[in-house]
């Protein structure tokens, strides 16, 4: 254990040395007056959850720690010792932080008098927070500490249920599977009166799917105390065999964080948000919102957990990369991510939007290593997003991420978030070239033998499908589009209406409507590259104005009027 000591006088420093010698099993950091900043030294103790020993006046200690005191379940132990070493007084985090225990130990080793002021200790009464600490449990219903302690001080028996949930009778303390909620997800729920379990559960299932989780990942249901008798929520907790935890509005208001605020909700229940606040509060230390408030038919749901709970890796399609073509769901995943992983070109498109985020990349042809980096970073407790251009399920990383699940440990989940693939975004620019049956074929033979690509081209031509061609040409493959067109020309006329789009959604975006013969010429002039998507029409495709259009057949339906507009 690392312990920080603050002293200001010669006698204080001498006592510091005595304490250090008395505890050879611990590491001590000593405040050096004139060299260290006292505020920063104290803040470091709180951030690192290091015990803090003040040797001197209690007033100085209280004023120094005041800006950093946050929560009795999170704050580190703070002890004050007079500079003569006569009295040792724990002043913060006596039970959970262990200040009382440390004070007794210090007093014994330096032969001082411990001054413990905690009521349950003085009266030798049951202390629920000390019980939790001694049994390595995590408290999630913090308002129950005072209620249980008061009952113990009055000499009334304390009832505890271990493992059986829900308990047959009301109890003061519930211990689930040997612990309070220590891991897993908490689903916060708000709802109108009378919502059924079926309605609530169906919406909860949809929300879990949004983050790639399942019902087995849920550790608790949470809400506000006025919903404690809501039958739909009570029955849901029973069906899931997890506790239903409710909080008073005053406690919910004090939860730190950025939450979705509603004036209407506040007017009804006294706090601006129920589902997000209650979920974070119930999950406890280190909790964060994994799914923001979702609303439907009088039900609101949010999901909270810690980074260690979030074993979902998001495989995100960012479309062509332009801000306006990234979907809201993709933006949410990227906003949540601690680390974004991808090919360098794709990360460059996101750097301005997320300058503060960690970004990791591998070069072209290192896709498998890039995926393994995702699992390694997620195993560290980070929220990870793998980005792909277009859609991750169309020549993207979705399949390899799923394939690699077999070789990794840790019960990871893969959540694929679709994006707008080049066939869609390019077609929109050209007009409507794939408005009927179509196929997508890549001319890259890095992973697919050219012989197989040839078979697919011939099949597409024989089937009279409109074709979107990816990876049509590159410096090393500067004749592949011409070769493909030659194969198609065995079935398709060279004057077939076609088109291509370069740099979709990016600087330098251009498009051209042409014939298949023109495509061959354009490639030979270097006008078509890896950032170009090519479209080859079917037998019905026409050029209308400067757009490429493949009719669906609506105008040829029987009974359709030919009246001019």
Residue 326 DSSP class: S
Look at residue 140 in the predicted model and tell me its pLDDT: 64
Torsion of CA 407, 413, 414, 416, to 10 degrees: 170
Residue 108, H or E segment = helix 99-110
Task: Tell me what pLDDT residue 159 has.
Answer: 79
Nearest to 368 by CA among 343, 346, 337: 343
Report pTM.
Answer: 0.57
Q: Sheet with 185-191: list strands edge to edge.
A: 244-247, 218-224, 185-191, 299-305, 288-296
Contact 504, 425 (CB under 8 A): yes
Q: Are 195 and 298 in contact (CB under 8 A)?
A: yes
CA–CA separation, 343 and 81 (whole Å): 57
Q: How confident is the model at residue 180, as a pLDDT?
A: 44
CA distances from 202 to 191, 276, 302 (A): 13, 19, 14
- Taking every pair of C-alpha atoms in the chain, what is the biggest distance, in angstroms? 105
CA atoms within 13 A on the CB side of 453: 22
Whole-angstrom distance, CA of residue 394 vs CA of residue 388: 10
Mean pLDDT by 10 residues, the chain (565 residues): 91 94 91 90 90 95 93 88 95 89 94 91 82 72 76 80 59 59 82 94 91 84 91 90 85 88 92 94 83 93 82 90 89 90 89 91 86 88 90 95 79 89 96 97 94 97 97 92 96 96 92 96 94 96 96 82 70
* Cis previous bond, 166, omega within 30: yes
Distances (CA, A) of 445 to 169, 401, 473, 486, 514: 68, 21, 11, 17, 26
How many angstroms separate the CA atoms of 316 and 411, rounded? 20
- pLDDT value at residue 178: 38
Q: List strands edge to edge, sheet with 312-317.
A: 358-362, 339-343, 384-388, 312-317, 413-417
Side-chain half-sphere exposure of 399, counting CA atoms within 13 A: 4
Q: Give yes or no for a contact between 386 and 374, defined as CB atoms under 8 angstroms apart.
A: yes
d(CA 299, CA 293): 10
Show the tokens assigned to 192: 């109108």
Which segments of 118-187 does DSSP mark as H helices, in order?
119-122, 128-134, 143-153
| Residue found under tokens 């829900």 | 166
E-assigned strand segments in 306-404: 312-317, 339-343, 358-362, 384-388
Whole-number pLDDT of residue 382: 84
Sign of the torsion formed by the C-alpha atoms of 428, 429, 434 and 438 = negative
Tokens describing residue 211: 């983050």
Stated as kind and residue range, the H or E segment containing 431 is strand 431-432
Contact 537, 550 (CB under 8 A): yes
Provide the b/e sequence for 315-348 (b: ≥16 CB within 10 Å). Answer: bbbbbbbbeebbbebbebbbebbbbbbbbeebbe
Instruction: Give the phi and the psi of residue 374 in degrees, each rounded to 5.
Output: -55, -50
Q: What is the pLDDT of residue 73?
A: 78
Give the total residue count for the chain. 565
- Return the bridge partners of 384, or none: 313, 339
Q: How far apart are CA 337 and CA 363, in angstroms?
A: 21
| End-to-end alpha carbon distance in the chain | 83
């Amino acid at each position: 254990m690392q312990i920080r000591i603050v002293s200001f006088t010669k006698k204080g420093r001498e006592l510091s040395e005595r304490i250090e010698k008395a505890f050879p099993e611990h590491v001590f950091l000593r405040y050096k007056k004139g060299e260290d900043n006292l505020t920063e030294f104290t803040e470091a103790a709180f951030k690192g959850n290091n015990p803090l020993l003040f040797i001197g006046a209690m007033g100085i200690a209280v004023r120094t720690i005041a800006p950093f005191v946050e929560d009795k379940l999170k704050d580190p132990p703070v002890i004050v010792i007079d500079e003569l070493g006569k009295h040792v007084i724990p002043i913060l985090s006596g039970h959970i932080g262990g200040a009382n225990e440390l004070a007794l130990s210090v007093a014994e080793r330096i032969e001082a008098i411990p001054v413990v002021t905690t009521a349950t200790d003085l009266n030798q009464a049951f202390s629920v927070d000390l019980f939790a600490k001694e049994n390595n449990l995590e408290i999630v219903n913090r308002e129950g500490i005072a209620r249980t302690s008061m009952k113990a001080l009055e000499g009334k028996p304390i009832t505890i249920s271990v493992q059986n949930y829900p308990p047959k009778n009301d109890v003061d303390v519930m211990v689930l599977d040997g612990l309070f909620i220590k891991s897993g997800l908490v689903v916060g729920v708000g709802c109108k009166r009378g919502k059924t379990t079926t309605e609530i559960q169906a919406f909860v299932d949809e929300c879990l799917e949004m983050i790639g989780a399942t019902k087995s990942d849920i550790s608790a249901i949470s809400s506000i105390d006025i919903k404690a008798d809501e039958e739909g929520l009570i029955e849901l907790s029973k069906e899931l065999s997890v506790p239903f935890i409710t909080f008073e509005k005053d406690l919910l208001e004090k939860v730190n964080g950025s939450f979705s605020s509603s004036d209407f909700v506040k007017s009804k229940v006294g706090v601006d948000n129920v589902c997000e606040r209650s979920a974070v509060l119930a999950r406890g230390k280190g909790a964060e919102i994994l799914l923001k408030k979702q609303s439907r038919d009088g039900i609101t749901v949010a999901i909270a957990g810690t980074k260690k709970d979030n074993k979902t890796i998001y495989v995100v399609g960012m479309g062509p990369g332009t801000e306006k073509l990234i979907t809201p769901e993709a933006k949410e995943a990227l906003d949540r991510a601690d680390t974004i992983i991808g090919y360098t070109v794709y990360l460059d498109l996101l750097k301005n939007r997320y300058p503060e985020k960690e970004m990791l990349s591998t070069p072209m042809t290192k896709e498998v290593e890039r995926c393994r980096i995702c699992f390694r970073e997620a195993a560290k407790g980070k929220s990870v997003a793998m980005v792909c251009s277009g859609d991750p399920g169309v020549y993207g990383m979705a399949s390899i991420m799923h394939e690699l699940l077999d070789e990794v440990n840790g019960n990871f989940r893969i959540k694929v978030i679709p994006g707008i693939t080049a066939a869609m975004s390019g077609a929109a620019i050209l007009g409507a070239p794939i408005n009927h049956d179509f196929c997508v074929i890549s001319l890259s033979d890095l992973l697919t033998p050219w012989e197989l690509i040839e078979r697919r081209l011939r099949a597409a031509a024989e089937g009279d499908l409109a074709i979107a061609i990816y990876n049509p040409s590159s410096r090393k493959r500067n004749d592949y589009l011409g070769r493909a067109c030659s194969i198609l020309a065995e079935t398709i006329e060279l004057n077939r209406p076609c088109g291509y789009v370069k740099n979709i959604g990016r600087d330098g975006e251009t498009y051209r409507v042409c014939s298949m013969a023109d495509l061959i010429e354009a490639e030979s002039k270097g006008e078509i590259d890896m950032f170009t998507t090519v479209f080859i029409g079917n037998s019905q495709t026409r050029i209308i104005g400067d757009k490429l259009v493949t009719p669906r057949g609506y105008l040829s339906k029987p009974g359709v009027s030919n009246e001019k507009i």
